[in-house]
Amino acid sequence: MKEKELRRSMAVFTIGTVMKLTNLTARQIRYYEEQQIVQPQRTETNRRMYSLSDVDRLLEIKDYLSEGLNIPAIRRIYDEEKQKTAKFPEEKEHHLTDEDVRRILYKEILDASGFNSLDKNTWKR
DNA sequence: ATTCTGACA
DNA sequence: TGTCAGAA
């Protein structure tokens, strides 16, 4: 299943088609890149090229944002995912268990909403 | 015609 | 985030 990963990783979409696929504006797509949460490739002429994975990521970012997460929080999530990938190169699929994601998201949502007065042990687990 | 960067009435 | 300018 390495062939599939390769295809999902190949940058074949222009920002124009990504806009249609994600319903995001070019401004937003470029901004997210600025914030380091998506890293499209560039052509020799400096045009951004996105892969299927990038599109999925953009769609995912849209969800996180609507769930109340801010850019820094989202960046941290992908950074942690990258750290685990580096730690377990073999396990290509489940880098983060559903529980890991829930725990992280719940914490981030509280951070983003400035509701940090609660005891961390209250929603631990 | 499309995309890029930088800037802000 | 929108939008406009000037360049590629």
Q: Give the pLDDT band (50/70/90) at residue A124.
A: very low
Handedness of CA A46, A42, A40, A83 (dihedral sign): negative
State which residue has its Cα closest to the C1' atom of C2.
A27
pLDDT mean across residues, chain A: 86
Residues 52-111 of A with CB under 7 A from strand B: none
State which residue has its Cα closest to the C1' atom of B2.
A16
Token code pair at residue A62: 């849209």
User: Is A15 (CB) below 7 Å from strand B?
Assistant: yes
- Look at the block and give the residue holding tokens 């299927």: A52
Which pLDDT score is estimated for A49?
98
pLDDT of A119 higher than 60: no
Which pLDDT score is estimated for A92?
64
User: Is A45 (CB) below 7 Å from strand C?
Assistant: yes
* Mean pLDDT value across residues A33-62: 98
Closest CA to A80 of A58, A107, A55: A107
User: Is A110 (CB) below 7 Å from strand C?
Assistant: no
Which residue segments constitute the domains of chain A, with CATH numbers given? Answer: 1-51 (1.10.1660.10), 67-125 (no CATH)
